[in-house]
Amino acid sequence: MCITIESDMTQQPVKVRFAPSPTGYLHVGGLRTALYNYLFARKHGGIVVLRIEDTDRSRYVEGAVENLITSLEWAGLHFDEGPKQGGPVGPYTQSERTALYRDHVTQLLDEGKAYRCFCTPEELEDARARQQEERREQAYDRRCRALSEDDIRSRLQTGTPYTVRMKVPLGGQLQFHDLIRGEVSVHYDVIDDQVLLKSDGFPTYHLANVVDDHHMGITHVIRGEEWLPSTAKHLLLYEFFGWNPPEMAHLPLLLNEDRSKLSKRQGDVAVEDYREKGFLPEALVNFVALLGWNPGDDREMFTLKELEEEFSLERVGKAGAVFDLEKLRWFNAQHLRNLPASQLADLCTRWLDEAGIAPEDTEKREAVVAALGSYLTFPADIAAHLSALAEGQVEISSEEARSLLAEEESQQVFLSFLALAEEQEDWTATEIKAMIKRVQKETGVKGKQLFMPLRLALTGEEHGPDLGLLANLIGKTGSIARVQAQVR
Ligand code: GLU
């Protein structure tokens, strides 16, 4: 027998949810799931819910929920309903909804769609070990499914602990449509009689997830591919309860560069790690948006607002998406240079202060970051460029650089520069660049032979931001003094 489970959500206003288990931090994969749900809701004028799935008490981590919420807010994702803001179908934390799950388990027991399992953890472990030894599929052998009413009653009377398992049909298969993966069919014989209620009275993820998605009016379940194997169980539960299931969309896996599943061992996976390293939320969101989705053309730069308009599940692929750190760094550099100068100056406060540019001198601070912004990958990178702007003489540390400065051609460049600079009235970047052109004309020295000694004399560095911008920031007097210091 094959049953096809169809979802009909066409009449319902879109409502989606991000349903993390609070394990201590927000995984970048979780951020992508949250983002896609958020974008899908915004695109369709729907609602996005944050639901905390904390029924596994053994994995409880102090402060984990606050941490999750902080990371989501930092990324700019705001939820319409959730534990903090409340809403019409709360509470939004599963550990506060246990009575609801228990009622549903009672209903399934009464209707013969679930059964009590009195097997002890040791018995289950033994059975698993035997199956492993015999190289058989490891699944519950369903022995409690056959217990008589009397047997069950007497065990209940003696207070024997039990779990409740779902009665998966013994033959046939189930078919459903996934918005990303297409048609999926699963044989019942590979589905275990899943535990729905644990002996501590808490539901398992599977039961709580389905009951909540139904009661919260969720129309589309958008989540990671690792949940695809559980979907058949979930749809079977919808069938048991006689509910219209939501549409399903399983997002492709995130991969390390060697194409293994993205893991902590190969790099950072927590959003907060990226935040601490100086990645901007705009960059991380832009980068993560493109891990699975594409706009259909070669555009790469997107703001959250633009993504809200562009996003569609039709453009999410099936293939795993590689988490390319170099690309993320590139996005960071791009978004940094797009920031308004005042915001960039705020991000660089510490280094501007250290360079002695007074906090009140907003004009100078903003001019400096505007000039240097396009040379940064992280805000902290500005420190290296600022040192070139510090008051006083520059230090030339390498022997090679010192001998370049002493060369005849370099000396001619310096003398010509000094003569022209004295006459120069406007000391803007453009004027300075035009002046350097004149130095080239007068001395006949060009290219690297011209720029390298000037850059070394002015900044002490061999490479760096536009020389006109730097000389402008150093100021006319400072620039003249530095070049003068290199004249033999
Ligand atoms: N609590 C599950 C998780 O931690 C949610 C999976 C789902 O979205 O159904 O990812």
Going by pLDDT thresholds of 50, 70 and 90, the confidence category of residue 51 is: very high
**Residue nearest atom 6 in ligand 1 by C-alpha distance:** 19
Q: Give the CATH number of domain 98-197.
A: 3.90.800.10
Going by pLDDT thresholds of 50, 70 and 90, the confidence category of residue 5 is: confident
Is a pLDDT exceeding 90 seen at residue 12?
no
- pLDDT tens-digit readout, 330-349: 999 999 999 999 999 999 99
Q: How many residues does the chain have?
A: 488
How far apart (Å, rounded) are the C-alpha atoms in residues 272 and 28? 9
- Indicate which atom in ligand 1 lies nearest the CA of residue 21: 4
Partnered with residue 197 across adjacent β-strands are 164, 203
Q: Which residue has the higher pLDDT, 166 or 7?
A: 166
CATH topology of domain 1-84+205-338: Rossmann fold (3.40.50)
DSSP state, residue 266: G
Is a pLDDT exceeding 80 seen at residue 390?
no
Is a pLDDT exceeding 80 seen at residue 1?
no
Domain covering 399-484: architecture: Orthogonal Bundle (1.10)
Per-residue pLDDT at 267: 74
* Among 21, 37, 220, 248, residue to substitute to test ligand 1 (most atoms within 8 Å of Cβ): 21
Per-residue pLDDT at 144: 96
List ligand 1's pocket residues with C-beta within 6 A. Answer: 19-21, 53, 205, 209, 223, 227
211 CA distance to ligand 1 centroid (A)?
A: 13
Burial class (CB in 10 A: 0-12, 13-18, 19+), 121: exposed
**Residue nearest atom 10 in ligand 1 by C-alpha distance:** 20
Partnered with residue 316 across adjacent β-strands are 293
**Residue nearest atom 3 in ligand 1 by C-alpha distance:** 20
Peptide bond preceding 91: is omega within 30 degrees of 0, i.e. cis?
A: yes
- Indicate which atom in ligand 1 lies nearest the CA of residue 53: 1
Q: Is the pTM of this model over 0.85?
A: yes
- pLDDT tens-digit readout, 24-37: 899 999 999 999 99
Q: What is the overall mean pLDDT for the chain?
A: 94
Going by pLDDT thresholds of 50, 70 and 90, the confidence category of residue 136 is: confident
Q: Where are the domains of the chain?
A: 1-84+205-338, 98-197, 341-388, 399-484
264 flagged as catalytic: yes
